[in-house]
């Protein structure tokens, strides 16, 4: 982002001018090219169609480049990184998303360092192949798996966390990797699967939640998927009317999944009495997935198939390193 002409608001700037803002990029041992949307977007305006456009850009240029860096506003950056991770099949090159907390034109901006280091990570090779072979996020000294990351601060430069998975690398004087955590695909050929179905909803549990609110969501016949954002390790109020509403929605073919409201930890349905009803009702546990990964994965899978059983099975399956499997 840069300041608007009247200096009253922040507006997106065209990527074509990035070298003007970050001349240090010319010093890197890398040949750089850039592409930009015709109309730059604030990340709060991003839609699934934009995820597909970004992915298509990567696909069209996949054979020509060793790695890709995507500049993206921080607000929905974790959603985009998660969505891209599910679309790419057989990815064997780095796709690194980065952004900043302060606009690139400001003196104290973190944008320059984030961009420079993201490009360094994207250019790394080992044994004549890219060292990184997954979708990642780089922000303030940390490289995270994209579908394990979430924004947690609007003020700190280290605005992102990976609560349930270690950082892939840390940038200090040197770039230090945790090689055991790097993702490698078993798929031989690179490919791209597009299509998202956004007929989903997120229903947050809270003390005092009413039957009218729950039923207004769960009885909406346009919905194909519903995320229950639950307490602790996947618990919900034991209201009989709540369980009946969930059972009816699942029986109608809605894919119902369970994600914890806690940033760290995972869903363990059945551990407490308050989650046993969810198991019996057919709610799928999403383990330690972030809400961002769960939402984009659900939209992606629903966009690939109308087979409810297949979607339910894949939601509980680790596809791109987004889910820890015990």
Taking the domains of the chain in order of start, what are their residue ranges?
Answer: 2-192, 200-315
Q: Which two tokens stand for residue 220?
A: 């909406």
Q: Write out pLDDT tens, residues 286-296.
A: 999 999 999 99
| CA 310-316-321 angle, 5° bins | 115
Contacting residues for 176 by C-beta, under 8 A, at least 6 apart: 169, 170
Q: Report in angstroms the alpha-carbon separations of 264 from 149, 163, 236, 295.
A: 11, 5, 18, 17
Which tokens belong to 25?
């990029």
pLDDT tier at 76 (50, 70, 90 boundaries)? very high
Q: How buried is 75 (Cβ within 10 angstroms: 0-12 exposed, 13-18 middle, 19+ buried)?
A: middle
Residue with tokens 């055991």: 180
**For the chain, give me the number of helices (H) and strands (E)?**
9, 18
Model pTM score:
0.93
Assess contact for 87 and 300: CB atoms under 8 A: yes
pLDDT score, position 8: 63
Q: Domain 2-192: give its CATH code.
A: 3.40.50.1170
CB atoms within 10 A of CB 206: 10
The tokens describing 263, both together, are 């940033």
Mean pLDDT of 216-243: 96
- For residue 238, give the 3-state DSSP assignment: coil
Q: How far, in Å, CA of 256 to CA of 315, rounded?
A: 10
Q: What does the pLDDT read at residue 153?
A: 95
Tell me, what's the pLDDT at 325?
A: 80
Place of tokens 């940033």: 263
Asked whether residue 27 carries a pLDDT value surpassing 90, the answer given is no
Q: Could you tell me the CA-to-CA distances from 276 to 92, 248, 273, 280 in Å, in that order?
A: 41, 17, 5, 6
With 0-12 / 13-18 / 19 or more C-beta atoms within 10 angstroms meaning exposed / middle / buried, residue 169 is buried
Residue whose tokens read 């009816």? 248
- What is the chain's percent helix, strand, coil content, to nearest 5? 35, 20, 50
Share of the chain above pLDDT 90, in %: 77
Stretch 203-208: mean pLDDT: 97
Q: Give Cα 245 to chain centroid, integer Å.
A: 29
Beta pairing, strands 169-171 & 142-145: antiparallel
Over range 309-325, report the average pLDDT.
Answer: 96
Q: Distance between CA 256 and CA 246 in Å, rounded?
A: 8
Residues in the chain: 326
Domain at 200-315, CATH from 3.40.190.10, 3.30.300.30, 3.40.50.40, 3.40.50.720? 3.40.50.40
Residue 274: per-residue pLDDT: 80
Same fold, 2-192 and 200-315: yes
């Amino acid at each position: 982002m840069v300041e608007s002409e009247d200096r009253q608001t922040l507006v997106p700037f065209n990527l074509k001018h990035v070298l003007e803002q970050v001349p240090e990029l010319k010093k890197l041992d890398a040949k750089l090219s850039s592409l930009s949307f015709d109309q730059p977007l604030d990340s709060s305006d991003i839609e699934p169609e934009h995820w597909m456009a970004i992915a298509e850009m990567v696909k069209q240029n996949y054979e020509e480049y060793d790695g890709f860096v995507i500049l993206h506003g921080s607000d929905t950056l974790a959603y985009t990184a998660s969505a891209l991770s599910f679309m790419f099949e057989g990815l064997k090159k780095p796709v690194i998303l980065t952004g900043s907390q302060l606009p690139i034109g400001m003196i104290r901006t973190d944008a320059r360092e984030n961009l420079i280091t993201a490009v360094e990570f994207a250019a790394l090779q080992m044994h004549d192949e890219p060292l990184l072979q997954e979708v990642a996020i780089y922000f303030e000294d940390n490289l995270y798996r994209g579908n394990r990351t979430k924004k947690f601060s609007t003020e700190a430069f280290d605005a992102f966390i990976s609560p349930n998975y270690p950082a892939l690398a840390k940038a200090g004087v040197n770039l230090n990797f945790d090689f055991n955590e790097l993702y490698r695909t078993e798929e031989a050929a690179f490919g791209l699967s597009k299509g998202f179905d956004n007929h989903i909803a997120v229903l947050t549990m809270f003390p005092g939640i009413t039957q009218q609110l729950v039923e207004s969501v769960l009885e909406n016949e346009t919905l194909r998927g519903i995320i229950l954002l639950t307490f602790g390790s996947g618990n919900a109020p034991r209201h009989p009317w709540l369980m009946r509403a969930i059972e009816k929605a699942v029986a109608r073919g809605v894919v119902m999944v369970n994600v914890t409201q806690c940033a760290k930890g995972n869903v363990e349905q059945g551990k407490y009495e308050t989650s046993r009803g969810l198991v019996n009702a057919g709610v799928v546990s999403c383990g330690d997935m972030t809400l961002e990964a769960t939402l984009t994965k659900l939209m992606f899978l629903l966009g690939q198939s109308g087979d409810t059983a297949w979607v339910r099975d894949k939601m509980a399956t680790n596809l791109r390193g987004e889910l820890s499997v015990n």
